[in-house]
Structure 1
Amino acid sequence: MRFSTDLTITKYNYIVIMLYVGGTKMSESVQVAELKEALEKGDCQLLDVREYAEFATAHIRGARLIPLRELRGRVVELDRNRPLYVICRTGRRARQAREILRACGFGDVRLVEGGMLAWQERGFAIESEARAPWSLERQVRFAAGALVLVGALASLLIARPFIWLAIFVGAGLVFAAVTDTCGMALLLARMPWNRARENPSCRGLERSGDE
């Protein structure tokens, strides 16, 4: 009887260990070089969770664009039976996407460390759309600068309280830097010019960069 109990515990421990190891393997993080190798073999799918403006400016060939804010409603577009690599600009949004995908039942989800910044730093090939909008970062700089300028000029020419517009924008930029989130970028991402009229993952794209 004692032997049977010990055997049961041993089996239980083995199952727990295998589940832990398997779960770790299927939710691992990978470097961009590993992603490049997997794409060359053609045995995976790549999900880009950035916004359209970012994707249109520079993305990896074959990537499917589903912005993070739309992911929960579009997981049906992804294949649960193939390894799924998730990428964004730096990795922060990709981590959030990985948690969403796990909650939706996806097993083999791999985070690409460093995101597109790391991919481009390595000099790997990228593609871009012929009529890509400005990057969100550039749009934020333009919008913030314009609002500060308007607030400053209006405070001099119309009424002094307009200076609060410039102060508000400045405070917002400081908050964005501290929290690594930008409300203005999220707002701009929803503008008509930053929305793809069709799925950019499925149409012809202009290539740039070296193979």
Structure 2
Amino acid sequence: MTTATRTPAAIDTAALRELTKDGSGPRLLDVRTPGEFHTVHIPGAYNVPLDTLREHRVELLRHLDEDTVLICRSGARAAQAEQALADAGLPNLRVLQGGMVAWEAAGGPVTRGAARWELERQVRLIAGSIVLVSGLAGLAVPGLHLIGTAVGAGLTFAAVTNTCAMGMLLAKLPYNRGPRTDINSVIPALKSQP
């Protein structure tokens, strides 16, 4: 049985800026890795990485409502988070259109921490390096260039499915993890927000 892919409701940067300019507005859940979140995030956002959200979505449901906006780098992980929460019984959440990339481009206020390379940039570096090295080594060792072909196939699959195995693996590195998100501190903070 094939399930239809649905498009989550979106909110653009201008509308979200308007809703948050006086410090009130919707709850903001940033589903990026803690490392990405601590590098730059929207003031007042809560960091609940996508894996943590999936694992604790039932607990989170009790403290979320439809006045919640999900945020990630570009919108893909936020859409996955919206789907996970909708599957658990909380429909009609909104996703920040274009994610943090669009928010920063529009000049939205941000809180900055230590600079880190974004996961997408790390994936490009690793994938490009593997293709370059295997291509050059393939001149000396027949068949070694096929490693680059496999990486290309993996990137194509990542684009088609809107997932990235290499990105998920890189997210687990200590450099990308940053401070661990403690769900037991996020939930009380969500409770206290009106």
> In 2 relative to 1, CA 176–77 (structure 1 residues): closer, same or farther, beyond 3 Å?
closer
1:24-65 CA-partner distances (Å, limit 9, x unpaired): xxx853222222233234243100112334334432112112
Contact 2:34–2:49, Cα closer than 8 Å, also in 1: yes
Query: Runs (4+) of structure 1 moved beyond 4 Å?
Result: none
1:84-123 CA-partner distances (Å, limit 9, x unpaired): 1112233333222223223334466333223223212211
Instruction: Output the amino acid matched with 2:79.
Output: R
Residue 14 of structure 2: aligned partner: 33
Instruction: Give the whole-Å Cα distance in 1 for the aligned partners of 2:135 and 2:98.
Output: 38
Instruction: Output the amino acid matched with 2:77.
Output: R
Kindly state the Cα deviation for residue 125 of structure 1 after the two structures are TM-superposed: 1.8
Gaps of 5+ in 1: 1-26, 203-211
Structure 1 residue aligned with 2:170, among 188, 193, 199? 188
Number of equivalent positions: 174
Instruction: Output the amino acid matched with 2:19.
Output: A
- Identity among equivalent positions (%) equals 42
Instruction: Give the whole-Å Cα distance in 2 for the aligned partners of 1:45 and 1:33.
Output: 16
Instruction: Give the whole-Å Cα distance in 1 for the aligned partners of 2:161 and 2:25.
Output: 36
Instruction: Give the whole-Å Cα distance in 1 for the aligned partners of 2:113 and 2:159.
Output: 29
Residue 105 of structure 2: aligned partner: 121
Partner SS, residue 199 of structure 1: coil
Instruction: Give the whole-Å Cα distance in 2 for the aligned partners of 1:164 and 1:28.
Output: 41
Instruction: Give the whole-Å Cα distance in 2 for the aligned partners of 1:198 and 1:180.
Output: 25
Larger helix fraction of residues: 1
Instruction: Output the amino acid matched with 1:136.
Output: L
Gaps of 5+ in 2: 1-7, 186-194
Residue 99 of structure 1: aligned partner: 83
Q: Give the greater-gyration-radius structure (CA).
A: 1
Residue 152 of structure 1: aligned partner: 135
- In the superposition, the TM-score normalised over structure 2's length comes to 0.73
> In 2 relative to 1, CA 145–29 (structure 1 residues): closer, same or farther, beyond 3 Å?
closer
- In the superposition, the TM-score normalised over structure 1's length comes to 0.68
1:118-161 CA-partner distances (Å, limit 9, x unpaired): 2122111222222x43111111121112212331343334x222
1:143-182 matches, cutoff 5 A: 143-157=126-140, 159-182=141-164
State the Cα RMSD in Å: 2.9
1:44 matched to 2:26? The reply is: yes
